[in-house]
Structure 1
Protein backbone atom coordinates (compact mmCIF):
# COMPACT_ATOMS: atom_id res chain seq x y z
CA UNK A 1 0.00 0.00 0.00
CA UNK A 2 2.94 2.35 0.54
CA UNK A 3 4.44 4.08 -2.50
CA UNK A 4 7.99 5.20 -1.66
CA UNK A 5 9.49 8.53 -2.61
CA UNK A 6 8.79 12.22 -2.05
CA UNK A 7 8.24 15.46 -3.91
CA UNK A 8 11.63 17.09 -3.48
CA UNK A 9 10.97 20.30 -5.43
CA UNK A 10 12.01 23.35 -3.41
CA UNK A 11 12.72 21.48 -0.16
CA UNK A 12 15.95 22.71 1.39
CA UNK A 13 17.52 19.39 2.37
CA UNK A 14 20.99 20.84 2.94
CA UNK A 15 19.63 23.31 5.47
CA UNK A 16 17.35 20.83 7.23
CA UNK A 17 19.93 18.06 7.48
CA UNK A 18 23.39 18.84 6.08
CA UNK A 19 25.81 15.99 5.41
CA UNK A 20 23.15 13.33 6.16
CA UNK A 21 22.84 14.70 9.70
CA UNK A 22 26.44 14.21 10.77
CA UNK A 23 26.23 17.07 13.26
CA UNK A 24 22.47 16.88 13.95
CA UNK A 25 21.61 16.18 17.57
CA UNK A 26 17.83 16.14 16.99
CA UNK A 27 15.82 16.07 13.79
CA UNK A 28 12.22 17.20 14.43
CA UNK A 29 9.70 15.87 11.90
CA UNK A 30 6.22 17.30 12.41
CA UNK A 31 3.16 15.64 10.91
CA UNK A 32 0.84 18.29 9.50
CA UNK A 33 -2.41 18.34 7.53
CA UNK A 34 -2.49 20.19 4.22
CA UNK A 35 -4.84 22.90 5.48
CA UNK A 36 -2.93 23.62 8.69
CA UNK A 37 -0.80 26.50 7.38
CA UNK A 38 -1.53 28.58 10.48
CA UNK A 39 -0.26 25.83 12.77
CA UNK A 40 2.92 25.43 10.71
CA UNK A 41 3.60 29.17 10.79
CA UNK A 42 3.11 29.26 14.56
CA UNK A 43 5.72 26.51 14.96
CA UNK A 44 8.19 28.24 12.61
CA UNK A 45 7.90 31.43 14.63
CA UNK A 46 8.23 29.75 18.04
CA UNK A 47 10.01 26.52 18.96
CA UNK A 48 10.78 25.69 15.32
CA UNK A 49 13.14 28.68 15.36
CA UNK A 50 15.71 26.40 17.04
CA UNK A 51 16.22 24.76 13.64
CA UNK A 52 18.51 27.70 12.85
CA UNK A 53 21.06 25.94 15.08
CA UNK A 54 23.61 23.75 13.34
CA UNK A 55 22.74 20.74 15.53
CA UNK A 56 18.94 20.83 15.09
CA UNK A 57 16.82 20.13 12.01
CA UNK A 58 13.12 20.54 11.44
CA UNK A 59 10.61 19.85 8.65
CA UNK A 60 6.88 19.23 8.26
CA UNK A 61 5.53 15.99 6.77
CA UNK A 62 2.45 15.98 4.54
CA UNK A 63 0.78 13.87 1.88
CA UNK A 64 -0.82 14.87 -1.40
CA UNK A 65 -4.14 16.61 -1.94
CA UNK A 66 -6.83 16.64 -4.62
CA UNK A 67 -7.83 20.29 -4.18
CA UNK A 68 -5.91 22.31 -6.76
CA UNK A 69 -6.29 25.59 -4.87
CA UNK A 70 -4.85 24.03 -1.72
CA UNK A 71 -2.10 22.29 -3.70
CA UNK A 72 -1.07 25.65 -5.16
CA UNK A 73 -0.99 27.20 -1.70
CA UNK A 74 1.22 24.34 -0.47
CA UNK A 75 3.58 24.84 -3.42
CA UNK A 76 3.85 28.54 -2.62
CA UNK A 77 4.43 27.85 1.07
CA UNK A 78 7.20 25.40 0.28
CA UNK A 79 8.77 27.85 -2.16
CA UNK A 80 9.02 30.36 0.69
CA UNK A 81 10.18 28.05 3.49
CA UNK A 82 11.56 24.89 1.87
CA UNK A 83 10.51 22.74 4.82
CA UNK A 84 7.61 20.60 3.53
CA UNK A 85 8.27 16.89 3.00
CA UNK A 86 5.48 15.53 0.79
CA UNK A 87 4.95 11.81 0.35
CA UNK A 88 3.13 9.81 -2.33
CA UNK A 89 -0.18 9.22 -0.53
CA UNK A 90 -3.44 11.10 -0.09
CA UNK A 91 -3.28 13.21 3.04
CA UNK A 92 -6.09 11.91 5.26
CA UNK A 93 -6.66 10.80 8.83
CA UNK A 94 -6.83 7.12 7.92
CA UNK A 95 -3.49 7.41 6.10
CA UNK A 96 -1.58 8.65 9.13
CA UNK A 97 0.50 5.47 9.31
CA UNK A 98 1.56 6.06 5.69
CA UNK A 99 2.57 9.57 6.73
CA UNK A 100 4.81 8.28 9.50
CA UNK A 101 6.33 5.63 7.22
CA UNK A 102 7.01 8.47 4.76
CA UNK A 103 8.64 10.39 7.58
CA UNK A 104 10.86 7.43 8.41
CA UNK A 105 11.77 6.92 4.77
CA UNK A 106 12.79 10.55 4.28
CA UNK A 107 14.90 10.54 7.44
CA UNK A 108 16.54 7.24 6.48
CA UNK A 109 17.42 8.58 3.03
CA UNK A 110 18.43 12.13 3.88
CA UNK A 111 19.30 12.30 7.60
CA UNK A 112 20.52 8.84 8.54
CA UNK A 113 23.37 10.16 10.71
CA UNK A 114 21.20 12.18 13.10
CA UNK A 115 21.60 11.17 16.73
CA UNK A 116 17.88 11.40 17.53
CA UNK A 117 14.61 11.69 15.61
CA UNK A 118 11.65 13.43 17.25
CA UNK A 119 8.28 12.69 15.66
CA UNK A 120 5.60 15.17 16.59
CA UNK A 121 2.32 16.69 15.37
CA UNK A 122 1.50 20.28 14.48
CA UNK A 123 -0.61 20.71 17.64
CA UNK A 124 2.36 20.00 19.92
CA UNK A 125 4.68 22.52 21.58
CA UNK A 126 8.27 21.41 22.15
CA UNK A 127 10.38 22.93 24.90
CA UNK A 128 13.66 22.48 23.03
CA UNK A 129 16.04 23.58 25.84
CA UNK A 130 14.36 21.10 28.19
CA UNK A 131 14.68 18.38 25.56
CA UNK A 132 18.40 19.07 25.16
CA UNK A 133 18.75 18.91 28.93
CA UNK A 134 16.88 15.57 28.87
CA UNK A 135 19.25 14.22 26.22
CA UNK A 136 22.30 15.28 28.22
CA UNK A 137 21.29 12.74 30.90
CA UNK A 138 20.36 9.90 28.51
CA UNK A 139 22.81 7.89 26.45
CA UNK A 140 20.91 4.66 25.72
CA UNK A 141 20.97 2.93 22.36
CA UNK A 142 18.00 1.40 20.52
CA UNK A 143 15.47 3.26 22.64
CA UNK A 144 12.24 5.21 22.19
CA UNK A 145 11.03 7.83 24.69
CA UNK A 146 7.57 9.20 25.40
CA UNK A 147 4.39 8.45 27.37
CA UNK A 148 3.76 4.72 27.46
CA UNK A 149 0.32 3.18 26.99
CA UNK A 150 -0.01 -0.31 28.44
CA UNK A 151 -2.73 -2.96 28.28
CA UNK A 152 -4.86 -0.98 25.81
CA UNK A 153 -7.49 -3.07 24.03
CA UNK A 154 -8.69 -2.59 20.45
CA UNK A 155 -12.06 -0.83 20.27
CA UNK A 156 -14.56 -3.02 18.44
CA UNK A 157 -17.50 -0.58 18.53
CA UNK A 158 -18.16 0.33 14.89
CA UNK A 159 -19.38 3.80 15.89
CA UNK A 160 -16.22 4.69 17.84
CA UNK A 161 -13.52 6.98 16.45
CA UNK A 162 -10.78 4.40 17.05
CA UNK A 163 -12.73 1.37 15.86
CA UNK A 164 -10.45 -1.44 14.65
CA UNK A 165 -11.64 -4.62 12.97
CA UNK A 166 -10.23 -8.03 13.79
CA UNK A 167 -8.87 -8.14 10.23
CA UNK A 168 -6.84 -4.99 10.99
CA UNK A 169 -5.67 -6.25 14.39
CA UNK A 170 -6.68 -9.68 15.64
CA UNK A 171 -5.18 -9.73 19.13
CA UNK A 172 -7.21 -8.79 22.22
CA UNK A 173 -4.59 -6.38 23.61
CA UNK A 174 -2.19 -3.99 21.92
CA UNK A 175 1.50 -4.27 22.75
CA UNK A 176 2.92 -1.52 24.93
CA UNK A 177 3.23 1.58 22.76
CA UNK A 178 4.03 5.30 23.02
CA UNK A 179 1.31 7.88 22.55
CA UNK A 180 1.64 9.26 19.04
CA UNK A 181 1.65 13.08 19.32
CA UNK A 182 5.26 13.26 20.52
CA UNK A 183 7.96 10.61 20.75
CA UNK A 184 11.73 10.54 20.48
CA UNK A 185 13.97 7.71 19.32
CA UNK A 186 17.64 7.07 18.85
CA UNK A 187 18.93 7.27 15.29
CA UNK A 188 20.39 3.77 15.39
CA UNK A 189 16.92 2.21 14.94
CA UNK A 190 15.74 4.47 12.10
CA UNK A 191 16.30 2.02 9.23
CA UNK A 192 14.82 -0.90 11.15
CA UNK A 193 11.67 1.03 12.01
CA UNK A 194 11.19 2.02 8.40
CA UNK A 195 11.84 -1.39 6.86
CA UNK A 196 9.78 -3.37 9.38
CA UNK A 197 6.88 -0.88 9.31
CA UNK A 198 6.61 -1.67 5.60
CA UNK A 199 6.52 -5.42 6.18
CA UNK A 200 3.42 -5.78 8.32
CA UNK A 201 -0.33 -5.62 7.62
CA UNK A 202 -1.62 -2.05 7.49
CA UNK A 203 -3.12 -0.53 10.65
CA UNK A 204 -4.02 3.15 10.54
CA UNK A 205 -3.18 3.73 14.24
CA UNK A 206 0.43 4.78 13.64
CA UNK A 207 1.59 4.88 17.23
CA UNK A 208 0.54 1.28 17.81
CA UNK A 209 2.44 0.18 14.70
CA UNK A 210 5.60 2.32 14.86
CA UNK A 211 6.08 2.47 18.64
CA UNK A 212 4.36 -0.78 19.61
CA UNK A 213 4.14 -3.70 17.19
CA UNK A 214 7.36 -3.03 15.26
CA UNK A 215 9.75 -2.19 18.14
CA UNK A 216 8.34 -5.06 20.20
CA UNK A 217 9.27 -7.48 17.41
CA UNK A 218 12.75 -5.93 17.19
CA UNK A 219 13.53 -5.86 20.90
CA UNK A 220 13.66 -2.06 21.00
CA UNK A 221 13.25 -0.50 24.42
CA UNK A 222 10.40 1.94 25.10
CA UNK A 223 10.97 4.22 28.08
CA UNK A 224 8.17 6.08 29.89
CA UNK A 225 9.15 9.74 30.22
CA UNK A 226 6.83 11.94 32.26
CA UNK A 227 8.26 15.15 30.80
CA UNK A 228 6.19 14.38 27.67
CA UNK A 229 2.73 15.79 28.46
CA UNK A 230 -0.50 15.10 26.57
CA UNK A 231 -2.25 18.37 27.35
CA UNK A 232 -1.50 21.67 29.03
CA UNK A 233 -3.43 21.59 32.28
CA UNK A 234 -2.05 24.90 33.51
CA UNK A 235 -0.07 27.84 32.23
CA UNK A 236 2.01 27.82 35.40
CA UNK A 237 5.46 28.92 34.15
CA UNK A 238 7.20 26.33 36.31
CA UNK A 239 5.16 23.51 34.75
CA UNK A 240 5.92 24.79 31.25
CA UNK A 241 9.64 25.14 31.97
CA UNK A 242 9.88 21.63 33.40
CA UNK A 243 8.43 19.56 30.54
CA UNK A 244 9.52 18.66 27.03
CA UNK A 245 6.24 18.58 25.12
CA UNK A 246 2.61 19.61 25.35
CA UNK A 247 -0.20 18.27 23.15
CA UNK A 248 -3.50 19.75 21.92
CA UNK A 249 -1.99 23.20 21.44
CA UNK A 250 -3.74 25.71 19.21
CA UNK A 251 -1.61 28.03 17.05
CA UNK A 252 -2.19 31.06 19.30
CA UNK A 253 -1.17 28.98 22.32
CA UNK A 254 2.17 28.19 20.67
CA UNK A 255 3.02 31.89 20.99
CA UNK A 256 1.72 32.11 24.58
CA UNK A 257 3.80 29.14 25.76
CA UNK A 258 6.84 30.34 23.82
CA UNK A 259 6.70 33.77 25.47
CA UNK A 260 6.31 32.20 28.90
CA UNK A 261 9.27 29.86 28.46
CA UNK A 262 11.44 32.66 27.06
CA UNK A 263 10.94 34.65 30.27
CA UNK A 264 14.21 34.01 32.09
CA UNK A 265 13.11 35.81 35.25
CA UNK A 266 10.82 32.96 36.34
CA UNK A 267 11.92 31.37 39.61
CA UNK A 268 10.67 27.89 40.50
Structure 2
Protein backbone atom coordinates (compact mmCIF):
# COMPACT_ATOMS: atom_id res chain seq x y z
CA UNK A 1 0.00 0.00 0.00
CA UNK A 2 2.77 2.41 0.98
CA UNK A 3 4.63 1.51 -2.21
CA UNK A 4 1.58 2.42 -4.33
CA UNK A 5 1.21 5.78 -2.53
CA UNK A 6 4.90 6.56 -3.11
CA UNK A 7 4.57 5.63 -6.79
CA UNK A 8 1.48 7.82 -7.12
CA UNK A 9 3.28 10.78 -5.46
CA UNK A 10 6.24 10.27 -7.79
CA UNK A 11 3.98 10.26 -10.85
CA UNK A 12 2.23 13.45 -9.65
CA UNK A 13 5.62 15.10 -9.09
CA UNK A 14 6.80 14.12 -12.57
CA UNK A 15 3.55 15.49 -14.03
CA UNK A 16 3.96 18.82 -12.23
CA UNK A 17 7.60 19.18 -13.31
CA UNK A 18 6.71 18.41 -16.92
CA UNK A 19 3.82 20.90 -16.81
CA UNK A 20 6.13 23.59 -15.40
CA UNK A 21 8.78 22.92 -18.06
CA UNK A 22 6.17 23.00 -20.80
CA UNK A 23 4.86 26.33 -19.50
CA UNK A 24 8.39 27.79 -19.50
CA UNK A 25 8.93 26.54 -23.05
CA UNK A 26 5.69 28.16 -24.25
CA UNK A 27 6.64 31.43 -22.53
CA UNK A 28 10.07 31.56 -24.15
CA UNK A 29 8.68 30.58 -27.57
CA UNK A 30 6.22 33.48 -27.38
CA UNK A 31 9.00 35.88 -26.42
CA UNK A 32 11.10 34.57 -29.31
CA UNK A 33 8.22 35.02 -31.76
CA UNK A 34 7.75 38.63 -30.62
CA UNK A 35 11.42 39.44 -31.19
CA UNK A 36 11.51 37.59 -34.52
CA UNK A 37 8.36 39.42 -35.67
CA UNK A 38 9.99 42.74 -34.81
CA UNK A 39 13.13 41.66 -36.68
CA UNK A 40 11.04 40.73 -39.75
CA UNK A 41 9.26 44.11 -39.67
CA UNK A 42 12.58 45.92 -39.42
CA UNK A 43 14.02 43.85 -42.28
CA UNK A 44 11.06 44.74 -44.49
CA UNK A 45 11.56 48.42 -43.72
CA UNK A 46 15.23 48.06 -44.49
CA UNK A 47 14.44 46.64 -47.95
CA UNK A 48 11.81 49.21 -48.86
CA UNK A 49 12.38 52.38 -46.85
CA UNK A 50 9.45 53.89 -48.75
CA UNK A 51 7.01 56.50 -47.44
CA UNK A 52 3.82 55.04 -45.95
CA UNK A 53 0.95 57.52 -45.83
CA UNK A 54 3.54 60.30 -46.23
CA UNK A 55 5.48 59.02 -43.19
CA UNK A 56 8.98 57.72 -43.93
CA UNK A 57 10.79 55.25 -41.68
CA UNK A 58 14.61 55.15 -41.59
CA UNK A 59 16.75 52.18 -42.61
CA UNK A 60 18.01 49.76 -39.93
CA UNK A 61 21.56 48.45 -40.25
CA UNK A 62 20.82 45.81 -37.60
CA UNK A 63 17.34 44.96 -36.29
CA UNK A 64 18.37 45.63 -32.68
CA UNK A 65 20.79 48.49 -33.30
CA UNK A 66 18.99 51.85 -33.51
CA UNK A 67 20.48 53.71 -36.51
CA UNK A 68 22.46 56.63 -35.19
CA UNK A 69 23.65 59.14 -36.10
CA UNK A 70 20.88 59.58 -38.64
CA UNK A 71 19.34 62.80 -39.98
CA UNK A 72 16.08 62.47 -38.07
CA UNK A 73 13.70 65.34 -38.65
CA UNK A 74 11.45 67.09 -36.14
CA UNK A 75 7.92 66.49 -37.44
CA UNK A 76 6.37 68.31 -34.47
CA UNK A 77 8.48 70.76 -32.51
CA UNK A 78 8.26 73.50 -29.89
CA UNK A 79 11.22 75.66 -30.96
CA UNK A 80 10.03 78.74 -29.02
CA UNK A 81 9.15 76.93 -25.79
CA UNK A 82 12.14 78.44 -23.97
CA UNK A 83 12.35 81.68 -25.93
CA UNK A 84 13.09 84.61 -23.60
CA UNK A 85 12.89 82.19 -20.65
CA UNK A 86 15.42 80.50 -18.38
CA UNK A 87 13.64 77.41 -17.08
CA UNK A 88 15.03 76.00 -13.88
CA UNK A 89 13.73 72.57 -14.86
CA UNK A 90 12.79 70.91 -18.14
CA UNK A 91 10.72 67.74 -17.77
CA UNK A 92 10.97 65.33 -20.71
CA UNK A 93 8.18 62.75 -20.54
CA UNK A 94 8.64 59.49 -22.46
CA UNK A 95 5.53 57.80 -23.78
CA UNK A 96 3.95 56.32 -26.89
CA UNK A 97 2.54 58.63 -29.52
CA UNK A 98 -0.97 57.13 -29.36
CA UNK A 99 -1.21 57.34 -25.55
CA UNK A 100 -3.23 60.55 -25.35
CA UNK A 101 -4.84 59.61 -22.03
CA UNK A 102 -1.52 59.35 -20.17
CA UNK A 103 -0.50 62.79 -21.40
CA UNK A 104 -3.80 64.29 -20.25
CA UNK A 105 -3.42 62.65 -16.84
CA UNK A 106 0.09 64.06 -16.40
CA UNK A 107 -0.97 67.57 -17.52
CA UNK A 108 -3.72 67.51 -14.90
CA UNK A 109 -1.55 66.20 -12.07
CA UNK A 110 2.17 66.73 -11.44
CA UNK A 111 2.71 68.02 -14.99
CA UNK A 112 0.67 71.17 -14.40
CA UNK A 113 3.75 73.41 -14.53
CA UNK A 114 1.79 76.55 -13.60
CA UNK A 115 1.61 75.52 -9.92
CA UNK A 116 5.35 75.62 -9.20
CA UNK A 117 7.30 78.57 -7.82
CA UNK A 118 10.16 78.32 -10.32
CA UNK A 119 10.12 78.20 -14.11
CA UNK A 120 9.30 74.65 -15.27
CA UNK A 121 8.90 73.52 -18.89
CA UNK A 122 7.45 70.14 -19.90
CA UNK A 123 7.53 68.33 -23.25
CA UNK A 124 6.29 64.89 -24.31
CA UNK A 125 8.72 62.99 -26.54
CA UNK A 126 7.18 60.70 -29.18
CA UNK A 127 8.04 58.96 -32.43
CA UNK A 128 5.95 57.74 -35.35
CA UNK A 129 3.20 55.15 -34.87
CA UNK A 130 4.54 51.66 -35.60
CA UNK A 131 1.73 51.20 -38.12
CA UNK A 132 1.86 54.43 -40.11
CA UNK A 133 -1.46 56.24 -39.73
CA UNK A 134 -2.40 59.70 -40.92
CA UNK A 135 -5.26 59.76 -38.40
CA UNK A 136 -2.91 59.17 -35.46
CA UNK A 137 -0.56 61.83 -36.80
CA UNK A 138 -3.37 64.34 -37.32
CA UNK A 139 -4.65 63.82 -33.77
CA UNK A 140 -1.11 64.31 -32.46
CA UNK A 141 -0.70 67.54 -34.41
CA UNK A 142 -4.03 68.84 -33.09
CA UNK A 143 -2.92 67.98 -29.56
CA UNK A 144 0.31 69.87 -30.15
CA UNK A 145 -1.57 72.94 -31.34
CA UNK A 146 -3.76 72.82 -28.24
CA UNK A 147 -1.14 72.24 -25.56
CA UNK A 148 2.17 73.18 -27.21
CA UNK A 149 4.12 70.39 -25.53
CA UNK A 150 4.63 67.62 -28.13
CA UNK A 151 8.05 66.94 -29.67
CA UNK A 152 8.25 64.26 -32.38
CA UNK A 153 10.88 62.91 -34.77
CA UNK A 154 10.54 60.46 -37.67
CA UNK A 155 11.60 57.17 -36.07
CA UNK A 156 9.27 54.35 -35.09
CA UNK A 157 7.76 54.65 -31.62
CA UNK A 158 8.84 51.25 -30.25
CA UNK A 159 10.45 49.96 -27.08
CA UNK A 160 13.64 49.29 -29.03
CA UNK A 161 13.85 52.96 -30.02
CA UNK A 162 13.71 54.43 -26.51
CA UNK A 163 17.35 55.41 -26.91
CA UNK A 164 16.50 57.42 -30.03
CA UNK A 165 13.66 59.10 -28.16
CA UNK A 166 15.91 60.09 -25.26
CA UNK A 167 18.60 61.35 -27.64
CA UNK A 168 15.90 63.40 -29.35
CA UNK A 169 15.25 65.00 -25.97
CA UNK A 170 18.95 65.71 -25.52
CA UNK A 171 19.02 67.27 -28.98
CA UNK A 172 15.93 69.37 -28.24
CA UNK A 173 17.37 70.76 -25.00
CA UNK A 174 20.69 71.45 -26.72
CA UNK A 175 19.15 73.30 -29.68
CA UNK A 176 15.96 74.81 -28.31
CA UNK A 177 16.33 75.14 -24.54
CA UNK A 178 20.03 75.71 -23.75
CA UNK A 179 19.10 78.28 -21.08
CA UNK A 180 17.67 75.58 -18.78
CA UNK A 181 19.43 74.66 -15.54
CA UNK A 182 18.30 71.04 -15.06
CA UNK A 183 16.48 68.35 -17.01
CA UNK A 184 14.33 65.47 -15.75
CA UNK A 185 13.77 62.49 -18.04
CA UNK A 186 10.78 60.47 -16.82
CA UNK A 187 8.44 57.74 -18.06
CA UNK A 188 4.71 58.39 -18.31
CA UNK A 189 3.81 55.83 -15.61
CA UNK A 190 5.56 57.69 -12.79
CA UNK A 191 4.62 59.86 -9.85
CA UNK A 192 6.87 62.91 -9.78
CA UNK A 193 7.08 65.20 -6.76
CA UNK A 194 8.30 68.26 -8.63
CA UNK A 195 8.40 70.50 -5.55
CA UNK A 196 10.59 68.10 -3.60
CA UNK A 197 12.86 67.56 -6.59
CA UNK A 198 13.32 71.31 -7.02
CA UNK A 199 13.80 72.35 -3.40
CA UNK A 200 15.38 69.27 -1.80
CA UNK A 201 17.50 67.81 -4.59
CA UNK A 202 18.33 70.59 -7.05
CA UNK A 203 18.14 73.71 -4.80
CA UNK A 204 17.30 76.77 -6.94
CA UNK A 205 19.08 79.13 -4.49
CA UNK A 206 22.45 77.44 -5.11
CA UNK A 207 24.69 77.76 -8.19
CA UNK A 208 23.71 75.37 -10.97
CA UNK A 209 25.85 72.23 -10.91
CA UNK A 210 27.68 70.92 -13.95
CA UNK A 211 28.50 67.33 -14.94
CA UNK A 212 25.58 66.27 -12.75
CA UNK A 213 23.57 63.12 -13.51
CA UNK A 214 21.65 61.24 -10.83
CA UNK A 215 18.83 58.80 -10.15
CA UNK A 216 18.60 55.17 -9.06
CA UNK A 217 22.13 54.01 -9.87
CA UNK A 218 22.49 50.50 -11.30
CA UNK A 219 25.88 48.80 -11.03
CA UNK A 220 27.48 45.47 -11.89
CA UNK A 221 25.00 44.44 -14.58
CA UNK A 222 25.53 43.29 -18.12
CA UNK A 223 23.66 42.70 -21.37
CA UNK A 224 21.13 39.88 -21.67
CA UNK A 225 22.43 37.43 -24.26
CA UNK A 226 19.29 35.29 -24.61
CA UNK A 227 16.76 36.17 -27.31
CA UNK A 228 14.01 35.24 -24.89
CA UNK A 229 14.42 38.60 -23.12
CA UNK A 230 13.17 41.90 -24.45
CA UNK A 231 16.44 43.37 -23.12
CA UNK A 232 18.42 41.08 -25.45
CA UNK A 233 21.63 42.68 -26.75
CA UNK A 234 23.75 40.55 -29.13
CA UNK A 235 27.54 40.48 -28.97
CA UNK A 236 27.90 42.18 -32.33
CA UNK A 237 26.12 45.27 -30.98
CA UNK A 238 27.73 45.41 -27.53
CA UNK A 239 30.64 42.98 -27.00
CA UNK A 240 31.42 43.87 -23.37
CA UNK A 241 30.06 41.64 -20.62
CA UNK A 242 29.20 44.51 -18.25
CA UNK A 243 27.61 47.94 -18.49
CA UNK A 244 29.17 50.98 -16.84
CA UNK A 245 27.12 52.31 -13.89
CA UNK A 246 23.93 54.00 -15.10
CA UNK A 247 20.73 55.55 -13.75
CA UNK A 248 17.58 53.46 -14.02
CA UNK A 249 15.48 54.52 -16.99
CA UNK A 250 12.08 55.31 -15.44
CA UNK A 251 13.38 58.61 -14.03
CA UNK A 252 16.66 60.47 -13.74
CA UNK A 253 17.74 64.12 -13.54
CA UNK A 254 20.80 65.90 -14.86
CA UNK A 255 22.29 69.35 -15.30
CA UNK A 256 21.41 70.83 -18.68
CA UNK A 257 25.06 70.96 -19.76
CA UNK A 258 24.98 67.16 -19.85
CA UNK A 259 22.37 67.20 -22.64
CA UNK A 260 24.84 68.59 -25.16
CA UNK A 261 27.70 66.42 -23.90
CA UNK A 262 25.64 63.24 -24.22
CA UNK A 263 24.19 64.29 -27.57
CA UNK A 264 27.67 65.02 -28.92
CA UNK A 265 29.32 61.81 -27.69
CA UNK A 266 26.40 59.73 -29.01
CA UNK A 267 27.37 60.81 -32.53
CA UNK A 268 30.67 58.95 -32.14
CA UNK A 269 29.78 55.63 -30.48
CA UNK A 270 27.51 52.69 -31.30
CA UNK A 271 24.00 53.13 -29.95
CA UNK A 272 22.24 50.24 -28.19
CA UNK A 273 18.53 49.80 -27.57
CA UNK A 274 18.88 49.70 -23.76
CA UNK A 275 18.33 53.43 -23.23
CA UNK A 276 19.40 53.76 -19.61
CA UNK A 277 22.46 51.53 -20.08
CA UNK A 278 23.41 53.59 -23.13
CA UNK A 279 23.30 56.77 -21.03
CA UNK A 280 25.77 55.02 -18.72
CA UNK A 281 27.99 54.21 -21.68
CA UNK A 282 27.93 57.89 -22.69
CA UNK A 283 28.85 58.92 -19.14
CA UNK A 284 31.71 56.43 -19.21
CA UNK A 285 32.98 57.84 -22.50
CA UNK A 286 32.76 61.35 -21.03
CA UNK A 287 34.54 60.17 -17.86
CA UNK A 288 31.68 61.59 -15.79
CA UNK A 289 30.31 59.02 -13.30
CA UNK A 290 26.69 59.26 -12.07
CA UNK A 291 26.27 61.29 -8.89
CA UNK A 292 25.06 59.33 -5.85
CA UNK A 293 21.47 60.49 -5.13
CA UNK A 294 19.98 61.35 -1.74
CA UNK A 295 18.85 58.14 -0.07
CA UNK A 296 15.34 56.84 -0.92
CA UNK A 297 14.48 59.93 -2.99
CA UNK A 298 14.36 58.19 -6.38
CA UNK A 299 12.36 54.97 -6.58
CA UNK A 300 12.45 52.81 -9.69
CA UNK A 301 9.76 50.52 -8.26
CA UNK A 302 6.25 50.96 -6.92
CA UNK A 303 5.97 51.94 -3.27
CA UNK A 304 2.69 51.96 -1.38
CA UNK A 305 1.18 55.44 -1.29
CA UNK A 306 1.39 57.27 1.99
CA UNK A 307 1.06 61.04 2.02
CA UNK A 308 3.85 61.70 4.50
CA UNK A 309 6.19 59.27 2.75
CA UNK A 310 5.47 60.71 -0.70
CA UNK A 311 6.22 64.24 0.49
CA UNK A 312 9.84 63.14 0.86
CA UNK A 313 10.38 61.30 -2.42
CA UNK A 314 10.98 62.60 -5.93
CA UNK A 315 9.77 59.59 -7.93
CA UNK A 316 7.73 56.41 -7.58
CA UNK A 317 7.11 53.96 -10.40
CA UNK A 318 3.89 52.40 -11.77
CA UNK A 319 1.41 55.18 -11.07
CA UNK A 320 -0.78 56.26 -13.97
CA UNK A 321 -4.38 56.70 -15.04
CA UNK A 322 -7.06 56.94 -12.38
CA UNK A 323 -4.71 55.68 -9.67
CA UNK A 324 -2.38 58.64 -10.29
CA UNK A 325 -5.34 61.04 -10.32
CA UNK A 326 -6.60 59.75 -6.96
CA UNK A 327 -3.11 59.86 -5.47
CA UNK A 328 -2.57 63.41 -6.69
CA UNK A 329 -5.89 64.65 -5.36
CA UNK A 330 -5.08 63.29 -1.90
CA UNK A 331 -1.49 64.53 -2.12
CA UNK A 332 -2.59 68.11 -2.84
CA UNK A 333 -5.44 68.07 -0.29
CA UNK A 334 -3.02 67.10 2.51
CA UNK A 335 -0.14 69.28 1.37
CA UNK A 336 -0.41 71.69 4.30
CA UNK A 337 -0.84 68.98 6.93
CA UNK A 338 2.00 68.17 9.31
CA UNK A 339 3.62 64.75 9.18
CA deviation after TM superposition for structure 1 residue 46, in Å: 0.7
CA deviation after TM superposition for structure 1 residue 121, in Å: 1.2
Moved over 4 A (4+): 51-54
| 1:55 aligned partner | 119
Q: 1:195 aligns with which of 239, 259, 264?
A: 264
Structure 1 spans left out of the alignment, 5+ residues:
none
CA distance in 2, matches of 1:202, 1:216: 14
* Within-5 A mapping of 1:1-268: 1=67, 2-8=70-76, 11-14=77-80, 16-19=81-84, 21=85, 23-51=86-114, 55-65=119-129, 66-133=132-199, 134-136=201-203, 140-210=209-279, 212-225=280-293, 226-262=296-332, 263-268=334-339
CA deviation after TM superposition for structure 1 residue 198, in Å: 2.3
CA distance in 1, matches of 2:322, 2:289: 36
Between the two proteins, the alignment pairs up a number of residues equal to: 262
Q: Which has the higher strand share?
A: 1
CA distance in 2, matches of 1:266, 1:147: 29
Larger radius of gyration: 2
Report the RMSD for the aligned CA atoms in angstroms. 1.8
Structure number with greater CO (CA < 8 Å, separation at least 6) is 1
* Contact 1:120–1:180, Cα closer than 8 Å, also in 2: yes
CA distance in 2, matches of 1:188, 1:153: 28
CA deviation after TM superposition for structure 1 residue 182, in Å: 0.6
Deviations 1:151-186 (A, max 9, x none): 012111111121110112111111101001111011
The TM-score, its normalising length taken from structure 2, stands at 0.73
| SS in structure 2 of the partner of residue 60 of structure 1 | strand
The TM-score, its normalising length taken from structure 1, stands at 0.91
Structure 2 spans left out of the alignment, 5+ residues:
1-66
